[in-house]
Amino acid sequence: MMHPDTELRDAGEGIGLGVFATRRIPRGTIVWMRDELDHCLPLDRVRSLPLAYRKILDRYGFLDADGNRILCWDFGRFVNHSCNPNVLPTAWRFEIAARTIHAGEQITNDYGTLNLERGFRCLCGAADCRHRVRPDDFERLQVVWDLRVRDALGTAGSVAQPLLPWLDKARRRDFRRALRRPDLAPSVGTLRLEPARVDPLAFAAVPRRTPRKRSDAV
């Protein structure tokens, strides 16, 4: 579920659609949360689907720490990547503003946090753009993401949180506990799909294609 002060817009040529803030969203605000309407498909269900459906999941879904493919029911699936994102995930299955997001600014996260199966060329234009986003970015950048999230939690208790009532009791409790001690907030590493460290394609919706064999015919 996306923050109510967001909308879907054209993000420009070569990018397609994106999610934009319609009002100022302060640092520490919950901007997106996983909710009961999001589709959660286990690996066996994904692999039973026709290829056309799996391609949609490959493009718009992401993997959680249990290997389930998550497909957002609303326009949260159109949030684009940036190597310097203004939104980052937390251990509680919601994402918060890592800095203040201004009206008209595009909402971005780091796809490196989403248990990528394959790398991709990045054209985000950030000053610190990695140029290629890889599955193992999770391990390399986890400490940086944790620092930014814990810094944002320091202001989360003093800003409006319109998505807070939608969180279940356990997540609300853990979130409020973290507001008292942001330095003890659990790492984003809890979102990591462990088998993906060894084989990023193990849970892929569209697995690696088998190379076509050459013919020996003359």
The CATH number covering residue 23 comes to: 2.170.270.10
Examine residue 212 and state whether it is found in any structural domain, yes or no: no
Instruction: Evaluate if residue 208 carries a pLDDT over 80.
Output: no
Chain centroid offset of residue 146 CA: 14
- What's the mean pLDDT in 191-204? 94
- Nearest of 118, 112, 109 to residue 18 by alpha carbon: 109
Query: Residues in the chain, how many?
Result: 218
* pLDDT tens by residue, 90-118: 999 999 999 999 999 999 999 999 999 99
62-63 and 69-71 as β-strands: parallel, antiparallel, unpaired? Answer: antiparallel
Number of domains in the chain: 1
Chain centroid offset of residue 65 CA: 12
Instruction: Evaluate if residue 180 carries a pLDDT over 60.
Output: yes
Give residue 31's identity as a one-letter amino acid code.
V
What token pair was written down for 212?
């076509």
Instruction: Evaluate if residue 70 carries a pLDDT over 50.
Output: yes
Supply the mean pLDDT for the chain.
94
Examine residue 30 and state whether it is found in any structural domain, yes or no: yes
Examine residue 204 and state whether it is found in any structural domain, yes or no: no
CA distance 150 to 24: 21
Examine residue 202 and state whether it is found in any structural domain, yes or no: no
Examine residue 214 and state whether it is found in any structural domain, yes or no: no
Examine residue 147 and state whether it is found in any structural domain, yes or no: yes
Q: Which residues lie below 8 Å from residue 36, measured CB to CB, with a gap of 6+? A: none
List, in sequence order, every residue forming a beta bridge with 6; answer none if it has no partner. Answer: 21
Instruction: Evaluate if residue 211 carries a pLDDT over 80.
Output: no
More confident residue, 194 or 212: 194
Predicted confidence at residue 130, as pLDDT, reads 96
Domain that holds residue 121: 6-196
Examine residue 208 and state whether it is found in any structural domain, yes or no: no
- Nearest of 123, 159, 148 to residue 11 by alpha carbon: 123
Percent of the chain with pLDDT over 70: 95
For the chain, the helix, strand and coil percentages under 3-state DSSP, each to the nearest 5: 30, 20, 50
Instruction: Evaluate if residue 71 carries a pLDDT over 50.
Output: yes
153 HSE (CA, 13 A, CB side): 27
- Read off the pLDDT band of 217 (50, 70, 90): very low
pTM above 0.85, yes or no: yes
CA distance 46 to 64: 14
* pLDDT tens by residue, 13-37: 888 999 999 999 999 999 999 999 9
CA distance 123 to 132: 9
